Structure 1
Amino acid sequence: MKGKRVLVTGGAGFLGYHLAQNLPRRGVAFMAFNDIAPFFKEEYPEDYILANVDVRDADGMYRLIHDNKIEIIVHCAAALPLWPKEEIMSTNIAGLRNTLTQAQKCGVERVIFISSTAVYGVPEKHPLVEDDPVDGVGAYGISKIAGEGVCADFRKQGMCVPVIRPKTFIGTARLGVFQILYDWVDSGKRIPIIGKGNNLYQLLEVTDLIDAIWLAGSAPADIANDIFNVGAQRYDKVKLDVGALCDFAGNGARVMPTPAPLVKGALAVFEFMKISPLYKWVYGTADKDSYVSTEKIEKKLGWKSQYSNQDALIGSHKWYLEHKDELKTQKAGITHRVGWDQGVLKLFKRWM
């Protein structure tokens, strides 16, 4: 990717923000970003192109790619699980197909698709490898599976379309559901975990994800044109990883196991009533093992993670502590870069 002209779709999001901060230091020649969400322009250098272009807009995407002589696209654009189903399917499938179509017309060298380990569903077998069956949970998981199918179609037509399947990734400026965790920990509350917390739940620090993207964009096409899992190589039981975060806070916050069937049932009702921000993928997998093998990306691209689950959680929490006062003035939303309305969870927080 060094010396290349790069477009990041979904560039106003959490990963787009970090790519903007990171890739120039690695030597990319030019960067453009597009999103339908507003950009925090002060976070992007003045010479970057920030375009409010929808990935479903054929003419807009063609002009953005063609006029800026884009050579590599990192496709981060996605409607997240809290979005309406129709928007998720349209953005995540039709938007991806349109991006690939316009990239093909403009002779783009490669398009790196950011998929998700959500494509695996909630299997019993672990660690998960790239050839394991896919079974998405909810519209988001289903849309990512379909998106990978679109990538496969274009790969058959001769395009280089690496697919990255990251675990849930966090880091500085990551809010969303993690802002709720950080708020509770900062308040010195008991932190309810679904079940006993003996399950292994792998996370990923965003810097390690960017390393994987860089390698997928830099390796020879015949090596990079594949599907790769990415996740922290050091992770522990949920109760220990969250417990380490509580220990770091040093304010009395502590892990509190809960009966999984009862809590999941209650959260399902709250979700149906639209009074909780937690959706099925979050609470449905919280007490399950969830970790992937990274052997393939290690061997083919030479990737290694720098950060453990605990490193990632504590580093992200530190950023939250430094910015929590200004975050209180922001309006709640449904992306990973803003806090979510805790809804009924606020009531339970008082009792913790």
Structure 2
Amino acid sequence: MTETCLVTGGSGFFGTHLVRKLLEKKRKVRVFDIAEPEEGVRGKVEFFKGDIRDFDSVNKTCKNIDVVYHTVAVVPISKAGKKFDEINAGGTRNILEAALRNKVKSFVHISSTAIYKVPKKGDVITEDYPIMPVGDYGRAKYHAEKICFEYMKKGLNITILRPRTIIGTGRLGIFSILFDWIRRGKNIYILGNGNNLFSYVSASDLAEASILASKKGFGLFLNIGAEEYGTFKGDLKKLVRYAKSKSRFVTINAELTRLILQVLDKIGLSPLTEWHYKTVDKEYVFDVSKAKKVLGWKPKDSNERMFKDTYDWYLKNYKQLDKRIGTTHRFSAKQGILKLLKLFS
């Protein structure tokens, strides 16, 4: 019998990639979201419109479901305040309770590496690395994980995935600013010297890991990230060369700039959040060996490949995208005071 899968947040950036991958694998797919699925998958999925905070809607959408993939999340750039916990944690409790009541066979929870302590140079982050969430987003994501552990004890088969920052076609958010500046040949400003190793994960690799996690890894939490990556500045240099852009890199004092960005963040003049300015100059080296062993998964995409594919997609679509400003990864970010830097670059 064909497996029926529910993707919460299935109209979002990563949710859309996961839905496409499930359809490729001939799964029946139901999408639960406040927004309709993208045009390319409408008619191929069953769509339930609803808010993850509304338990009755969530419970209804879980009926006759075999696997739940929980991707709903308010992202850092939204600066959503109380909604981080209401949606990222409270919404997780709702979908877990609905999954339990409806006897769902397995549940894949998409968490975040924002739950970890900001790493020191030379550290390799395994699943046992100290937990010290960054910002309201990180704290809400860790709260959601703790709720998952509660439901594991109640007998629900749950696998938790902790992905690095996700990149892929359709990814905008803060990256829309970077791509816009590269397209226009503007200076790219980097906190510190940019020589910190910095991994990402492709939406495609994470989708593959998610599907594998619906059958394996119950009761575990697993890091998901690329294995081929360079330094923060090095990978951006490759993108600039690929784009044939005139952009140049300007390194700026990390500590002083962090203080300035913190003030601008508090008064709402910058799109950058605590998660961005506290981590972008740090080394993010992730050990994904546990996921490889448990799931039989292997990441295929390098940072370089992800950036090229995503930038190519951006170039084909930016004229329409400039009209879509929002606070999710499928929308362009408002540049705020960063527009001044662009003007004088």
| Shared fold per TM-score greater than 0.5 | yes
Check 1:156–1:40 CA distance in 2 against 1; reply closer, same or farther (3 A cut).
Answer: closer
Q: Which residue of 1 aligns with 2:288?
A: 294
Q: Distance in 2 between matches of 1:271 and 1:308?
A: 31
Q: Distance in 2 between matches of 1:58 and 1:183?
A: 40
Q: Which residue of 1 aligns with 2:71?
A: 76
Q: Which residue of 2 aligns with 1:271?
A: 265
SS in 2 for 1:135: coil
Q: Which residue of 1 aligns with 2:334?
A: 341
Q: Which residue of 2 aligns with 1:88?
A: 84
The aligned runs of 1:165-314 (5 Å cut-off) are 165-219=162-216, 223-314=217-308
Deviation at 1:153, TM superposition (A): 1.0
Deviation at 1:41, TM superposition (A): 4.5
Deviation at 1:144, TM superposition (A): 1.0
The alignment status of 1:20 with 2:27, answered yes or no, reads: no
Deviation at 1:292, TM superposition (A): 1.2
Q: Tell me whether 207-216 or 268-277 shows the greater mean CA deviation.
A: 268-277
Q: Distance in 1 between matches of 2:165 and 2:279?
A: 12
The alignment status of 1:48 with 2:45, answered yes or no, reads: yes
Deviation at 1:230, TM superposition (A): 0.4
Q: Tell me whether 79-88 or 208-217 shows the greater mean CA deviation.
A: 79-88
Query: How large is the RMSD of aligned CA atoms in angstroms?
Result: 1.4
Structure 1 runs not aligned, ≥5 long: none
The alignment status of 1:139 with 2:127, answered yes or no, reads: no
SS in 2 for 1:175: coil
State how many pairs are aligned: 343
Q: Distance in 1 between matches of 2:140 and 2:198?
A: 23
Cα deviation, 1:172-201, whole Å, max 9, x if unaligned, reads 010000010000011111211111001011
Q: Tell me whether 16-25 or 274-283 shows the greater mean CA deviation.
A: 16-25
Identical amino acids, percent of aligned pairs:
35
Q: Distance in 2 between matches of 1:58 and 1:343?
A: 36
Q: Distance in 2 between matches of 1:13 and 1:166?
A: 16
Cα deviation, 1:149-176, whole Å, max 9, x if unaligned, reads 1111111121111000000011101000
Q: Distance in 1 between matches of 2:83 and 2:267?
A: 20
Q: Which residue of 1 aligns with 2:114?
A: 118
Q: Distance in 1 between matches of 2:52 and 2:249?
A: 42
Asked if the contact 1:247–1:253 (Cα under 8 Å) also holds between the matched residues in 2, the reply is no
Q: Distance in 2 between matches of 1:328 and 1:80?
A: 20
User: TM-score, normalised to structure 2's length?
Assistant: 0.96
Pick from 83, 104, 108: which aligns with 1:108? 104
Question: Which aligned runs of 4 or more in structure 1 are off by greater than 3 angstroms?
Answer: none
Structure 2 runs not aligned, ≥5 long: none
Q: Distance in 2 between matches of 1:65 and 1:238?
A: 41
Asked if the contact 2:52–2:87 (Cα under 8 Å) also holds between the matched residues in 1, the reply is yes
